[in-house]
Structure 1
Amino acid sequence: MKHLTLALVIGAISSSAAAATYDLPFKGQDFGDHEKVHTFDHAQNYSQKHGFDMGARRYDFDNSRWTSVTTTVADYNAAPTNNKFVVYNKSIYAMHAGKVIGCWRNAPENPRPKLSGDSDTTKPWLHSNLKNGLMPGGGNMLWIEHSDGTRMLYAHMIPGSISTSLCPHNATAYPAAIGDNSEMLYVAVPAAQQASISKGQYLGRVGNSGNSTGPHLHIHLQNSGGEGQLISFNRGIAATPDDTKPYPSWTRFAGSTIPTGSQLIWAPRTVGSQYVRHGMKAEMMQGFFSHLADSGFKASWFDGYSVSGNSFYNMVWEPANLAWRGFFGQSSAGYQQVFNQAIEDGYAPVQVDSHQTGSGTRYSVIFEKKPLATLAKHGLTYAQHMQVMDQAKDLNMRPVSVSVVSSGGDRRYTVLYQQQNVGSWTVSSQLTSAAYQNKVNSELEAGRRPIYLNSYVHQGEVNYTAVFSQLPQLSWGAKHGQTSAQFQTQFDNFSGQGYQTEVVSGVDGLNQHNFGGIWTKN
């Protein structure tokens, strides 16, 4: 199992180099789990020598390949249309603040992508207006000038997807062929009508207009003299596409340009209050870890569990506001090693977890760089667990994680305590489903609510571990015994009411997915 260590200093990178770096023109949330931006080396010329043509690819599991279309090859070849491209209609966002100095918004789209065998003389894939010099080479496009005098071209968008508030030109074609004139004769925006643009603002949608062989976004940066400039990016991770690897290894390129050659790009997603996933395949975990960390999140919850011998993860991520490290899928020895190193480097554990696999127990841990007194142990017997709990009470610590696995007929405990006031608290680790519900009810009568939940199969029966505490006093909700669809419904309901996800627990050792969760609201 792969793991990743990341002490987040992303904010420092972005802020210190904001004037010289750019956001990617796409956002991760607009792409499916198995869809990625794709780019490759652009043709070299004076103005576009550092530009990019950006498409997208998805992994086709049925045919074990990365492909640029949403259908089968046979279906695409039978009817090759623009809307069958993965990238078609994806939203485009401003890479930097500036003002619109040139644009076009209603040029007709090319009838179809270029096909092998098409004549380069007649160019049947191009719209007649382009061939007759009646539209910009960039089709529907925006020229955005930045405060340092550089300007970025965003080209080939869908007709009408650029709003009139950004582009005042509404004609479908030039009034006359451009001839030997510069296209700025028609696309330039008068100073009084130049719209201000904020970084990250929606601009339009990827299409196939202008001098284009298929749906894609063309971007390039040039100085006031028209010479192409290198584009360095605030965030982003890249991987070389390999048809044998649906889950490739990703490399971060923040503060530099995109690596050369054919590259898959995982654009960062917008950092909201939380990002929560349940039932994620272990094979996907490393990629999402890299992506979310690069986007500016930090992990606050990892929960591993197994179904029919296969590992899955539940996770909660929040905006990063301090340095942190996270590990998952660790052996006992590996877990202890990263734990010791983190403590030596001034990090404190804030959440731990364990789950059982065919190759033994695997551990996860999240650290944050802050002063915090903690007590953590793993691989404990029940008797040892009780001894550590008594020790924690003597140190005035409260339980944060009490993760249990069933191994060789015995329960093994991985625990974390912190020195933090939560009022009175209790821990129960061998509850059946019915007993857990009864425990919730009795604890409520005592003024305590659930703050932690872990679930596992022991001797053929689902067991729950729960921590109940008096503080903090918040509005809360909890569910257990949920299918994936039921859990998603509960998550949507609670999130829609302004609740935050505190816990997502999957039953470790079942032959089907089964979830529990805890939500809170201030």
Structure 2
Amino acid sequence: MKALHTFFHSLSLGRSLIAASAALVSIAASASDFPLRADDINLNYRYTTDTHWSGGAQEYALDIIARRHIGSGKWDHLKTNGADNKVNSNHIVYGAKIRAMDSGTVVGCWRNAPENTPGSNHAKVAEGYIGYAGNHLWVLQDDGNYALYAHAQPGSIPTDLCPHNATYLPAKEEGAVWTMAGRVWGGARITKGQVLGLVGNNGNSSGPHLHVHVQTGDNLPIAMKFDRGQTTPFTNETASVNATWTLLKGKSIPAGEMMVWAPHSVAYWTVNNIPDERMQAWFNHFADSGVMPNVYACTDNGQIYNTGWVPSTGAWQAYHGMSLTSFNKKSDDLAKLGYTRYGWWYCGSVYTGIWRK
């Protein structure tokens, strides 16, 4: 099994045969950003979500953690085998950057509540001196709905977003998600995609995770729809490393346990040694993230791909797994549509190509 290398991460993958693919990704303009990024964790890892509970303002809430594949389709939430589950920093998701799903204004927050030990809450939670959301931001979005980002690491929410620096609430507010002490008037503006803090474990939380939900001012639940990212079923902590992924493209994450391949940040990326049976999913992942291929090389007669990605500009198409006949026909057809061949690569009988306008 060959290793996949990037500038920042590494991962191990397997192989098979795949058909050609094109970069034609449409996105719903009104959808939100997923609040975490793929490049904040090792590229071999994925996020998983679970529906918070049924009914009430949090009916469509998501509790998000991160996992790594440990074999036989099983995934674990700890960084290493045998790591102490009671140590927050041993959890993969701990410290991941929380990003704003939509633009809006901060209307409530807390930033310095202490962390829980996984499996139990800090005593001050039951006493009512730490709100259920722990360190959090309430954001009045520009669409008029309210978004909650809960359980951030102590001190990780910037002071210019949250003016409340005390450790505990000044008076008991038992069971509160909205706390009176945490209200903010004339709060800071945030923009979609902005980093808001780091994933932690505090408030009414049993372990490191990000809780997000959106509700109306009348406490009615709003289903979150995300512009980018892919999902696949995750049942009994099991999902194949060669799973079939479905692009969100403005849809909600299905209820229940799901695995999420979050979008990458728009930047310059190099990912090599991708086995052919996973190339389509990787292609969809990067194209969906807003980057386009700059290098699309192959080796081992098309069984392995080496890729480079840059921020998308203009119209482009890219294909892999082509025969020479298919490659020549594709070049002719795209030339008639005004595309210029940017680059092409071959390995034995298999060709790849990138075309741009």
State if a TM-score over 0.5 links the two structures: yes
Aligned to 2:289: 295
TM-score with structure 1 setting the length: 0.60
- Structure 2 unaligned runs (5+)? 1-16
* 1:31 matches 2:41: yes
Counterparts of 1:182 and 1:271, CA distance in 2: 34
Aligned to 2:204: 211
* 1:66 matches 2:89: no
Report how far residue 348 of structure 1 moved. Answer: 4.8
Aligned to 1:150: 145
Q: 2:231 aligns with which of 226, 238, 261?
A: 238
Aligned to 2:306: 314
Aligned to 1:6: 22
Q: 1:329 aligns with which of 308, 321, 341?
A: 321
Q: 1:362 aligns with which of 337, 347, 350?
A: 350
Contact 2:21 2:320 in 1 (8 A): no
Report how far residue 292 of structure 1 moved. Answer: 0.8
Residues 311-354 of structure 1: per-residue CA shift (max 9 Å, x gap): 43222222222333222233456556756765676655432221
Aligned to 2:192: 199
- Is the alpha carbon distance of 1:195 and 1:239 closer, same or farther for their aligned partners in structure 2, counting shifts above 3 Å? same
Aligned to 2:184: 189
Report how far residue 182 of structure 1 moved. Answer: 7.6
Report how far residue 93 of structure 1 moved. Answer: 0.9
Report how far residue 133 of structure 1 moved. Answer: 1.1
Map 1:85-484; keep pairs closer than 5 Å.
85-112=91-118, 114=119, 125-179=120-174, 183-191=178-186, 194-241=187-234, 243=238, 245-272=240-267, 274-306=268-300, 311-332=303-324, 335=327, 342=334, 347-356=339-348, 361-368=349-356, 370=357
Aligned to 2:32: 22
Letter in 2 for 1:366: I
Contact 2:109 2:137 in 1 (8 A): yes
Letter in 2 for 1:230: A
Report how far residue 291 of structure 1 moved. Answer: 1.1
Larger Rg: 1
Counterparts of 2:324 and 2:167, CA distance in 1: 66
- Structure 1 unaligned runs (5+)? 115-124, 371-522
Letter in 1 for 2:213: H
Report how far residue 310 of structure 1 moved. Answer: 8.7
Structure number having the greater strand percentage: 1
* 1:84 matches 2:90: yes
Report how far residue 106 of structure 1 moved. Answer: 1.0
Sequence identity, in percent?
34
Counterparts of 1:328 and 1:7, CA distance in 2: 11
1:135 is paired with a residue whose SS is: coil
- Is the alpha carbon distance of 1:66 and 1:342 closer, same or farther for their aligned partners in structure 2, counting shifts above 3 Å? farther
Contact 1:66 1:241 in 2 (8 A): no
Higher RCO, 1 or 2 (CA under 8 Å, sep at least 6)?
2
Aligned to 1:499: none
2:283 is paired with a residue whose SS is: helix
Aligned to 2:60: 50
2:280 is paired with a residue whose SS is: helix
- Is the alpha carbon distance of 1:36 and 1:324 closer, same or farther for their aligned partners in structure 2, counting shifts above 3 Å? same
Contact 2:23 2:287 in 1 (8 A): no
Contact 1:48 1:220 in 2 (8 A): yes
- Is the alpha carbon distance of 1:244 and 1:162 closer, same or farther for their aligned partners in structure 2, counting shifts above 3 Å? closer
Contact 1:102 1:189 in 2 (8 A): yes
Contact 1:240 1:264 in 2 (8 A): yes
* 1:41 matches 2:51: yes
- Is the alpha carbon distance of 1:342 and 1:181 closer, same or farther for their aligned partners in structure 2, counting shifts above 3 Å? closer
- Is the alpha carbon distance of 1:187 and 1:283 closer, same or farther for their aligned partners in structure 2, counting shifts above 3 Å? same
Counterparts of 1:216 and 1:3, CA distance in 2: 37
Report how far residue 28 of structure 1 moved. Answer: 2.2
- Is the alpha carbon distance of 1:210 and 1:366 closer, same or farther for their aligned partners in structure 2, counting shifts above 3 Å? same
Counterparts of 1:21 and 1:85, CA distance in 2: 29
What RMSD over aligned residues (CA atoms) do the two structures have, in Å?
A: 2.6
Counterparts of 2:247 and 2:188, CA distance in 1: 33
2:34 is paired with a residue whose SS is: coil
Report how far residue 363 of structure 1 moved. Answer: 1.7
Aligned to 1:436: none
Aligned to 2:12: none
Residues 138-178 of structure 1: per-residue CA shift (max 9 Å, x gap): 11110011123211000011111112111111111112211
Aligned residues: 339
